[in-house]
Chain A
Amino acid sequence: MTASPDFPVLDVSGLSIALDNDGVQVPITQDVSFSIARGEVLALVGESGSGKSLTALSLLQLLGHGLSVVAGQIQFQARDGGRTDIARLGRSGHAIEALRGARIGMIFQEPMSSFSPIHTIGAQIAEVVEVHEKVGRKEARRRAADLLGKVGIPDPVGALDRYPAQFSGGMRQRAMIARALVCGPSLLIADEPTTALDVTIQGQILELLRALKRELGMAILFITHDLGIVAQMADRVAIMYSGRIVESGPVRDIFRHPAHPYTRALLDAVPRLGDIDRGRRIQPIAGSIPNIFEVPGGCRFHPRCPVAVLPRCAASAPPRHSSGRHEVECIHGETELAP
């Protein structure tokens, strides 16, 4: 079986995650849908608390205690064509564990704590190979060294026997990327991989990810709150607010013609070169993201929205409008999307 080229690597539809709070299901995300094609980078953007990291974890069935996927599908198609609905797999067991690390790699925000401090870097990368493929110790180590070289770690063979504490933050994140890619996954999930790093190192890591994507051809789901990174990395963007995707589309469309007031607010909060000359000030977004227990009715953004139409926006969920691949959930959607 070979992969059907028209089918995306990942197709998420109607995904809802809920928290079990003493028997009451509190929704965390609702009706989240997106898809990523081969070799494509999708950026999932949102403030902390918007549900973007939990969405990422749910793709690997790694949600924590009390959290579960209550609706929706997570269709995944690997390079060899095997198609699986991850939403139907258990949290453990061979089916999901064979995907994790091998078909779908994941890197996390904290390079400091993502490696066990008392095992060598080499052992922690080689074990991924050993778990997924029938190879010997030596071969696994060779593969690990290979990847370490690819992610730009000097003296990769020597690095195998070093401990995480002997690596800098940037080096550790490189090693983390090596670990996620050592089995050649079709999809890489990167959960704020550069947030904890210095700005110069951030740039290097992003450059590395782009180069690896070109070389290895995997799709990337890039989770971030930083629109600057989105502009550099992504092909398409999905903006998440309070557990819903409020706007999505090609990166150009979103940046040129943001249709949702939240997206515009986010863009206004990004400093741009020349702002000072033009006398423009950064506009912070007033208020904060709602607590999951106190989600406002109607459009979730209406209490903070500058263009809200009351009482309509507070009474019913906003309609979804689309133009081409650009979609938005807003009462003003139709006029905003009009070319």
Chain B
Amino acid sequence: MAVTDIAAPPARTARRKRMRRPDLASQWQLMWWKFRRHKLALFGLVVLGLFVLMTMFAEIIGPYPPGQRDTKYVAGPPMMPQIVDTAGNWHLPFVYGVKGVRDSKTLRMTYVADTAQLWHLELFVRGTPYKLFGIIPGDIHLFGTDQGSVHLFGTDFTGLDIFTRSVFATRASLGVAVVGVAVSFILGAAIGGAAGYFGGAFDNLVMRLIEFIRSIPTLPLWLVLAALLPRDWGALQTYLAITIILALLGWTWLARTVRSKLLATRHEDFVLAARLSGCSDTRIIARHLLPSFMSYLIVDTSVAFPEILLAETSLSFLGLGLREPVESWGVLLYAAQSIRSISQAPWLMIPGVFVIVAVLAFNFVGDGLRDAADPYSRS
């Protein structure tokens, strides 16, 4: 039979040249292309990047050292930067000065804006010296005022600046999450991997254990374990212990994924092919099995972050997790525990916004990763 081969029209060929070639792309390139299409996930990634910057440069971003008390502004409300004064004149950004007024009945000090005084906001001002990363000395802060002080999120009952503390608390909050996820990752990969690899009775045992851990309410158990930590432990010891406790109950998801993927891929043709061509078990696991489900592990890991972050925050909020002088968002929220304190100083709840934003960012990124990692998801 004569078959006439029709050439594609020239316009089409030209366009094709500029097109991406999914047939030639690596697995990671494909994932990145799909991930990029997920706008919320990109946004989440940017937010997480900002958080990482915050942990690195907290000393610069925070206008004051986290332990500096402003005795002239105790339990003061957030100061709102302005550009127009009461007379309608335009200025560079400023905050109003404050006047302390003592309530004649309750004898409590309250603060009102003093519209006669304008404290101008400035970028890169010299302030309290610090050592960045513990070694580089400096005294430049991202912003500050020419006179008086600025407390964007107000101060707590001891005069500490809530904005500065929230920025510094990013370190402990994300630190616990990262270490906790890392530990549960190792636990999950090791236990799940062993279960999937050895199979049989061991696999059965592990699966029952996972089911058991999943069927019990985790938060109360976390609370109990945290409560059992000796009270005389130092802040750092408690920090490590809490991280490990969180990881101890968080590894089950990952273990299950590793196991099921291992079982599913163990009998794939490419593994058999590798075995026939003389690869060792270790090489098969490291070079063939692991890469084939690495994307799923990353997705599961991204899901574990918000869980651990929320657990740490809840524990610390109740006074059973991290403790002063370690600062996490949960530790800051501990001050907002009673209705009395939040009715006097509702801005004590602001660190909670950081928690919500971080969890949202993690969830967005997790969703984006999940879609990107699924080879069958429609583009």
Contacts and interface: CB of A to CB of B under 8 A. Distances in A.
Judge A-B direct contact (beta carbons within 8 Å). Answer: yes
Interface of A: 283, 285-287, 294, 296, 302-304, 306, 308, 310
6 contacts: A286-B1, A296-B6, A303-B4, A304-B1, A306-B2, A308-B4
Q: Which 7 A-B pairs have the closest CB atoms?
A: A286-B3, A286-B1, A306-B1, A303-B4, A303-B6, A287-B3, A306-B2
Given A286-B3, A306-B2, A308-B4, 15 more contacts: A283-B1, A285-B1, A286-B1, A287-B3, A294-B8, A296-B6, A302-B4, A303-B3, A303-B4, A303-B5, A303-B6, A304-B1, A304-B3, A306-B1, A310-B4
Interface string B1-23: 11111101000000000000000
Contacts of B4: 302-303, 308, 310
A302 B8 CA distance: 15
A326 B1 CA distance: 26
Contacts of A303: 3-6
Contacts of B5: 303
B126 to A, nearest CB: 57
Contacts of B6: 296, 303
Contacts of A306: 1-2
Nearest to A313: B4
Contacts of A310: 4
A303 B5 CA distance: 7
Give the secondary structure class of B's interface: loop
Contacts of B3: 286-287, 303-304
A interface secondary structure, majority: loop
Interface of B: 1-6, 8
Nearest to B6: A303
B3 to A, nearest CB: 5
A181 to B, nearest CB: 37
A287 B3 CA distance: 7
A302 B6 CA distance: 10
A287 B5 CA distance: 9
A318 to B, nearest CB: 16
Nearest to A302: B4
B269 to A, nearest CB: 26
A304 B3 CA distance: 5
A113 B4 CA distance: 41
A303 B8 CA distance: 13
A294 B13 CA distance: 13
A308 B6 CA distance: 14
A285 B2 CA distance: 10
A266 B288 CA distance: 45
Contacts of A283: 1
Contacts of B2: 306
B106 to A, nearest CB: 65
B253 to A, nearest CB: 29
A304 B2 CA distance: 7
Interface-central residue, B1, B3, B5, B6, by most chain A CB under 10 Å: B1
A23 B6 CA distance: 28
Among B2, B4, B5, B8: residue with most chain A CB under 10 A: B4
Nearest to A294: B8
A73 B6 CA distance: 35
A267 to B, nearest CB: 14
A296 B3 CA distance: 14
A285 B1 CA distance: 8
Nearest to A304: B3
B349 to A, nearest CB: 45
A271 to B, nearest CB: 18
B9 to A, nearest CB: 9
Contacts of B8: 294
B6 to A, nearest CB: 5
A296 B7 CA distance: 11
A304 B6 CA distance: 10
A258 to B, nearest CB: 16
Nearest to A308: B4
A109 B273 CA distance: 37
Contacts of A287: 3
Contacts of B1: 283, 285-286, 304, 306
A287 B1 CA distance: 10
A283 B3 CA distance: 14
A186 B2 CA distance: 45
A310 B4 CA distance: 10
Nearest to A310: B4
A299 to B, nearest CB: 12
Nearest to B12: A294
A284 B8 CA distance: 24
B79 to A, nearest CB: 51
B13 to A, nearest CB: 13
A271 B4 CA distance: 26
A246 B5 CA distance: 22
A304 B4 CA distance: 7
B378 to A, nearest CB: 13
Nearest to A290: B6
Nearest to B2: A306
A22 to B, nearest CB: 15
A306 B4 CA distance: 9
Contacts of A302: 4
Nearest to B5: A303
A285 B3 CA distance: 10
A215 B2 CA distance: 48
Contacts of A296: 6
A236 to B, nearest CB: 28
Contacts of A308: 4
A287 B2 CA distance: 10
A286 B6 CA distance: 13
Nearest to B4: A303
A310 to B, nearest CB: 7
Nearest to B3: A286
B16 to A, nearest CB: 13
A255 to B, nearest CB: 21
A317 B2 CA distance: 20
B2 to A, nearest CB: 6
A287 B6 CA distance: 11
A171 B8 CA distance: 48
B7 to A, nearest CB: 11
Contacts of A285: 1
A137 to B, nearest CB: 41
B369 to A, nearest CB: 28
